[in-house]
C-alpha cells in the first residue's frame, strides 16, 4: 500500500478533497504545523493518523524542517503533499523529497507566484486565472507542472469570488494528480517537464470549464 503524507496549516480543504477521493491502495497521514488546525479534527474523524510539529517550538527554520522531516519519514512516504501548508521549506528539506513532493498553487504558473495571487490576477486584468499542481523545487513556485485548471475572470469579481471559483477546480485536479503519481504515470523529464504516461487516450492536463 502506498503512503501519502499531507501537510496542512489550516482547514485543509484540499486535504479533504484527497480524503474524499478515496484513492485506491493508499494510506493517508496528515501532519500540521498548527496544533489547532481545523483540518486535524476532520482527519481524526475520518480515522487518519495525524501529527503536529509546531514551528514555534523550534529556534530556526532548519531545526523545524529537521523535526518535520523526522515526523514525515516515520510513515515512509511515497509522496508528500502540500495542502495549504503555510511555511516556506528549506532547500535541504525539499531536496530530501525531490521527485515526491507536490504542491498546488492558486494561479496558472509561471504567472503570479507567491502570495495574494487572486489580487495579482485582478490587478493585472487577466481574463483567465486558475491553479497548478507542480513538483516542488527549491525555487519558489517554479517546479515542473503536472496539471492545471483554468477559470474565467468575470466582470465584478473580487478576490473572494475568484478564489472560490479557483478552489473548486483545485479540489478536482489535486486528487487527479496524486492518483497519477501513485499509479506511476508521472515521469519527470530532463528538460524539467512532466510526461504523463499510460493509458490512451491521455486524460486532459488542462481543465478549462467554460462559462462558470
Just list the catalytic residues: 105
Residue bearing cell 518535520: 68
Contacts of 97 (CB under 8 A, 6+ apart): 72, 77, 80, 136
Q: List beta partners, residue 148.
A: 132, 206
HEC assignment per residue over 149-207: EEEECCCCCCHHHHHHHHHHHHHHHHHHHHHHHHCCCEEECCCCCEEECCCCCCCCCEE
Amino acid at each position: 500500500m502506498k503512503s501519502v503524507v499531507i501537510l496542512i496549516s489550516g482547514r485543509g480543504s484540499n486535504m479533504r478533497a484527497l480524503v474524499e477521493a478515496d484513492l485506491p491502495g493508499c494510506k493517508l497521514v496528515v501532519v500540521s504545523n498548527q496544533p489547532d488546525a481545523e483540518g486535524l479534527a476532520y482527519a481524526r474523524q475520518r480515522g487518519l493518523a495525524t501529527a503536529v510539529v509546531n514551528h514555534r517550538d523550534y529556534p530556526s527554520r532548519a531545526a523545524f524542517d529537521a523535526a518535520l522531516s523526522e515526523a514525515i519519514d516515520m510513515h515512509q512516504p511515497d509522496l508528500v503533499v502540500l495542502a495549504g501548508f503555510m511555511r516556506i521549506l528549506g532547500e535541504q528539506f525539499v531536496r530530501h523529497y525531490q521527485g515526491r513532493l507536490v504542491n498546488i498553487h492558486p494561479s496558472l504558473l509561471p504567472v503570479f507566484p507567491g502570495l495574494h495571487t487572486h489580487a495579482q490576477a485582478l490587478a493585472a486584468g487577466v481574463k483567465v486565472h486558475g491553479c497548478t499542481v507542480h513538483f516542488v523545487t527549491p525555487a519558489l513556485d517554479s517546479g515542473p507542472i503536472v496539471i492545471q485548471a483554468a477559470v474565467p475572470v468575470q466582470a465584478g469579481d473580487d478576490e473572494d469570488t475568484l478564489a472560490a471559483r479557483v478552489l473548486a477546480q483545485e479540489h478536482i485536479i489535486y486528487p487527479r494528480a496524486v492518483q497519477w503519481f501513485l499509479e506511476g504515470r508521472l515521469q519527470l523529464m530532463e528538460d524539467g517537464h512532466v510526461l504523463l504516461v499510460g493509458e490512451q487516450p491521455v486524460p486532459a492536463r488542462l481543465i478549462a470549464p467554460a462559462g462558470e
